[in-house]
Amino acid sequence: MNAFFTLTLAAAGLLASTQARAQQFMTRSAHVDFFSSTPAEDISAVTEQASAVLDLASQNIAFQVPIISFHFEKALMEEHFNENYLESEKFPSATFTGKVSGLNPDAAVGLEQPVTATGTLSIHGVDVERTVEGTAVRTAAGWNLEARFDVPTEDHNIPIPKLVRSKIAESISVTLQAELSPR
């Protein structure tokens, strides 16, 4: 009888652990790009190395983007971005942690849902409370998330020297695409 009780408790614990884990989705290859447009120059950079975790039970979401992983068309732009503007050695990652609202975990596969993420965006060592609008689509394998938002450089104390100020927009357009799979 005691062995049966122990086995039943172990099975219940394993089932609970499996169910909790099935509620979490992640990726280590989210696509993030940014675009700066001015009359003098357009600048864009892309990374496929952003990580994301979504917990359906708590509606918590987190992203982490290694700054050095952004790649530019011109090597000199990449060097200036990492050394002078984002100081990637001192501030190696940009992060967002928050909560998602509007997400129905039981939505039909393929149904696009408008969602809102509210939380803290940390770039260049500066935390700013943000609300980001996006979409979530349940897939057979997990979730696809997309968002587009603007990041004012001033909000994160990103220094833009006067010499190049006409070439870098005051607000950078960021696009995110993430395909999350069960964790």
Q: What is the pLDDT of residues 37-70, one digit of tens each?
A: 999 999 999 999 999 999 999 999 999 999 999 9
Please state the pTM of the whole predicted model: 0.85
Q: State the pLDDT at residue 22.
A: 58
Characterise 157 by phi-psi region: left (phi > 0), alpha (psi -120 to 50), beta (else): left
pLDDT top residue among 163 and 174? 174
Q: State the pLDDT at residue 160.
A: 84
Q: Which pLDDT tens digit goes with each residue over 69-125?
A: 999 999 999 999 999 899 999 999 999 999 999 999 999 999 999 999 999 999 999
pLDDT top residue among 16 and 182? 182
Given a contact cutoff of 8 angstroms between Cβ atoms, the answer to whether 57 and 20 are in contact is yes
Q: State the pLDDT at residue 21.
A: 45
Q: State the pLDDT at residue 182.
A: 96
Residue closest to 53 by CA, chosen among 145, 149, 128, 116: 145
Residue closest to 30 by CA, chosen among 77, 82, 57, 66: 66
CATH number for the 24-182 domain, one of 2.40.128.110, 3.30.565.10, 2.60.40.1120, 3.40.50.920?
Answer: 2.40.128.110
Q: State the pLDDT at residue 125.
A: 96
Q: Which pLDDT tens digit goes with each residue over 120-170?
A: 999 999 999 999 999 999 999 999 999 999 999 999 999 887 888 888 889
